Amino acid sequence: MLNLSNLTSYKKLIIYQKAKSLVLITYRLTSDFPKTEIYTLVPQMRRAAISIMANIVEGYSKGTSAEYARFLTISIGSLTELEVYLDVCLDLHFISQLEFEKSFGLLIEVKKLLYSSRRTVRERIKQ
């Protein structure tokens, strides 16, 4: 019998859970954007948010520390991209200051987790 709990063990990772929350908040924010942004900022922001989460999972599932560290680095790139988009959205008044602070606060949490996880994984590689 197939043990599904082993296949989804990434769901127990705090970094995954926080990244998933960032995806959800990004989708909620962008659902209220002007229709003129349906082909520009909306898909870019959603892809960046999904990429953060997906690369965490993909790297984790590879089974090696080197691959995990590489995919965490990719996640950091996508997170930085999302950070820039949020800043632009605030300037364009697509989101309120409160929405920005809430989403940016979560983004910073994920950023800290990504950098910390990558550092830990890299240290494991050196041993």
CB 82: neighbour CB atoms within 10 A? 26
Give Rg (Cα) of the chain: 16
pTM above 0.85, yes or no: yes
The C-alpha atoms of residue 116 and residue 103 are separated, in whole angstroms, by: 20
What does the pLDDT look like over 39-61, one tens digit per residue? 999 999 999 999 999 999 999 99
What does the pLDDT look like over 25-37, one tens digit per residue? 999 999 999 999 9
Span 50-77, average pLDDT: 95
Q: Mean pLDDT of all residues in the chain?
A: 93
Domains of the chain: 39-126 (1.20.1440.60)
Who's near 71: CB < 8 A, 6+ residues apart? 55, 56, 58, 59, 60, 62
List the Cα angle 24/27/29 in 5-degree steps: 110
pLDDT beyond 60 at 4: no
